[in-house]
Every structure is written in C-alpha cells, then in structure tokens.
Amino acid sequence: MKISKIKKNFDRFSLYIEELDIAENGIYGIIGSNGCGKSTTMKIMAGLMKPDSGHVDYKNLSQQDITMVFRKPFLMRDTVIQNLIYPLTLRKIKPNTDVVNYYLEIAGLQELRNQYAPGLSGGEQQKLALIRAMIFSPKMIFIDEAFSNLDLESVSFFESLILARQQSEPIMYVICSHQPSHIKRLCDHVFFMDKGRIEAEGSATEMLANHKNMLPLSYPVVF
C-alpha cells in the first residue's frame, strides 16, 4: 500500500502526507503526540475516510483484505462467539471449531464465549476485537491506539499475539500509538508524525533514539 500527496483539511488541523509506503509484510508504527494526525492517516489508509486530494494505491489489496481495531472497540449486541465469527459469517466461511477455540483460549475468553459481548470488561472487549480482526486472516490490520486503556497484562497479550502471528503468518500491521514502548517492542519500521506531517521514518530503535528531540517536552520516552 502506498499513499501519496494526501491532503485533508479540518477546521483547526490539516494533514499532508507526501508519501507513506508500506511495501512488504511487517509491523509498521505511526507515532506522535495526541492530535498529530495518526488516526486520520490510518482512516484514510483503511479507506474509512476520503482525503481532500491525493492518492491511495492499494496495489493488490481489496477492502476484504483490510481491517481495523479501534481504541474503543465496537462489539455487536450479541454473544462473544457471534462477535468473533462475524467476519467469517460475512464471508460465508464455516468457522473451524479448533481455530475458534484457539483464539478464545489465548484471549482468555473461552469461559465467556456465550456471554453478552458488550457486557465484557474493557480489556476483554479489546482482546475480542483483536482476535476478531485476526480470525479471518486479513492481509493488513490497522490498530488504532488499541493499547491505550489496557493493563500491562493485556498489553503483553496483544504484543505476544501479534508477534507470534507474525512469525507464523506474516501480514502487514500498522499500529498507531503515542506510547513509544509499544512501538519499540513491536514495530519493524516507524513513521513519526507531528502537526499533520510525517517528520521522519526509520527502524523503531533508530527513530526513538535519534528523534527524541522531536518529541514534545511533555512526551515521555519510556522503554
């Protein structure tokens, strides 16, 4: 996927991305302070928002290959299991019991499979949203600050799951966060955004080491 010369204007904010190229499978990070345009960039990339101008080249990806996990997950008014298999149902794929059980097990939701999903705790909801995004094997997953409100154990779950999946079935992840620690542990390549622009890009280690001065003073770099 490649986006070029993307412009998006809001009342008090304007986004301009000269070029952002995600050419290979890997975990890409977009980092920057609140309001720098990370989520907007992601929504444009995921096809959820039309830019005012510019071009998004999906190459050989279709909408069916792309999914997104939001900071505030959306769960249907249905059971955990129905939420989990929803993307399979849409594709008329018969859920594989072993695969479903595997995901429920690793997310710690096996016992809650028949519970009403919106009644789960925040962390459980977020875990469900992530495994739901993975279960249909998309080629690209956007994760928009999904770790923001999670405890350390849940964050660790997310990171382990993504890294394990990436070992067995590499795809493209784009993770947006304002926590450098997540980015450092997960990402192969990082884009640093500030005031609606991509200011720098590179490997996570390089970026976070060399561009600390680009972060606002109030922005803690904790590894």
Partner 1 sequence: MNMFYIIDAEILGIIALTLRLTFLSTTIAAIIGIPLGLWLDYANFTGKNILVVVNRTLMASPPVVVGLVVYLILMRQGPLGFLGLLFTFEAMVIAQVLLITPIVCGIVYTASQRNSENIRMFAFTMGANKIQTQILLVKELSNEIFFAVITGFGRAMSEVGAIMIVGGNIRHHTRTMTTTISLLRNRGEIDQAVYLGAILMIIAFIVQMAGDFLRRRERRADENF
Residues contributing to the site for partner 1 (CB under 8 A): 46-48, 63-68, 70, 74, 76-77, 86-87, 90-91, 133, 136, 138
Which CB sits closer to partner 1, 68 or 207?
68
CB of 202 to partner 1, least distance (A): 28
Could you give the CA distance from residue 177 to residue 172 in angstroms, rounded to a whole number? 16
Query: Of 72 and 212, which CB lies nearer to partner 1 in the complex structure?
Result: 72
Q: Shortest Cβ distance from residue 6 to partner 1 (Å)?
A: 19
Cβ at position 198, least distance to partner 1 in Å = 23
Amino acid at 211: H
CB atoms closer than 10 angstroms to residue 87: 18
Q: How far is the CB of 156 from partner 1 (least distance, A)?
A: 25
User: Closer CB to partner 1, residue 68 or residue 190?
Assistant: 68
Residue 43 · residue 8 · CB < 8 Å:
no
Q: Which is nearer to partner 1, 94 or 223 (CB)?
A: 94
